[in-house]
Amino acid sequence: MPQHFAERVLTWFDAHGRHDLPWQHPRDPYRVWVSEIMLQQTQVGTVIPYFQRFMDRFPDVHRLAEASLDEVLHLWSGLGYYARGRNLHRAAQVMVEQHHGRFPEDLDAVQVLPGIGRSTAGAILALGRDQRHPILDGNVKRVLARHFGVSGWPGEKPVADRLWRLAESMTPTDRVADYTQAMMDLGATLCVRSRPACALCPVSCSCVALATQQVGALPTRRPKKDKPVRSTVMLILRDAQGRVLLEQRPSTGVWGGLWSFPETATEDEAILFCGESLGMETTAGERRPRMRHSFTHFHLEIVPLVRHVVAREADAMTDSGRVWYNPRRPDERGLAAPVKRLIDALAADC
C-alpha cells in the first residue's frame, strides 16, 4: 500500500506538480530553509516576491547573519508572523557560530535552530538534501486525514501522532525530495479545504473520505472560539517637517523588534504621554478612521490619534529607541503592517 501510494503521487507530480518555484532553482538547504519559514501559514503566491527580494539581499547564510535585525524585518514587512523573521535571523547567526555557515545535516541539530519544528526540519532536509524524513504541514495533514479517514482535530496529540505514523509509513526511500514536494502540491492544488478536485486526484481510488462522503468533514476543524477584541491608541506625533515619531518595540511579543507609533490605552493617556514623558506641547490634528488588524488569537482595534508638535522642552531623540521618521523618504526599517499603511497615507497627504 505505501509503495503504490507513493508511486501514484509521484506519477501525478511528474506531470502536474510545481517544478518552477524560485527556491527550486537552485534547490539547496539555505534557499529551501528560507522558503519553508516564509511558507508557514502563508500561501505560495504571497511568498514568491518576498523570497526573491530576500535572496537578492541575502544570497547566503553569512550575509543574513551579518545583517541587522532592522534590515531583515524591513524585507519581512507585510508578510506577517514576524517572529519567523526574528527566528530566521537568529538561526543564521547560530549556523555561522556553530556550524561554520553550513546548514546542519542531522535532523536533531536542525530542530534546535530557532523557529524550526519537526515538520519544517524534515521538509528542509528532504527537499534540500533528499534525506528521508516525513513531513506534516497543513497540506499533508489534509491529504492524509482524508485519504485514511482520520477524524479528530489534528491539533490534538493522539490525532497528530496517528498522522505522523501515516506520514512516516507513506514516505518512500527513493525520490524523497520529489515526493515531499508532491504531497505539498497535492494538498495545495487538488486536495484543498473547500471544493477539492477529487476527480483529478491520483489517489482518489483508495480515499476513505471520498468513499464515505466525508471529504468536507475531514480533517476535523479546530474547535471554534470567538476571537477577543483588544483596542489601542496609536499616537501619531508630527513635527513641523512632517516627520512622525516611531518607537522600536521590544524584541518579543506582538510585532517584536518592529517600529511602531507610541501606544496608549486611551486618547487622554496619549495626550498626557506627550507632555509628561516626551516634554512636548501638541495640538489636535486631523481625524483618521479606526483600523482593525487581526492576529491569530485576537483582533486589534486601532485608534489613530494625530497630534502636531508645537513646542518641546526635551528632544524625544535622546531615547535611542525612538526616531523621527520621514514618510516621504522611507528608510529600511521593519514596520508593522498597519503602521506602514498609516505612514503611506500620511505620505500621500503631504
End-to-end Cα spacing for the chain: 66
Provide DSSP, 36-71: HHHHTTS-HHHHHHHHHHHHHH--SHHHHHHS-HHH
∠ at Cα 78 (187, 240), nearest 5°?
170
Residue burial 221-240, b: 16+ Cβ < 10 Å; e: rest? eeeeeeeeeeebbbbbbbee
Question: In whole angstroms, what is the distance from residue 34 CA to residue 38 CA?
Answer: 6
Longest dimension (CA), the chain: 76
Task: Pick the catalytic residue from 7, 36, 276, 281.
Answer: 36
Q: Is 71 a catalytic residue?
A: no
What cell does 236 get?
A: 501619531
Q: Which three cell numbers stand for residue 295?
A: 492576529
Of 103, 101, 104, 85, the residue nearest 37 (C-alpha): 85
Instruction: Please list the active-site residues.
Output: 36
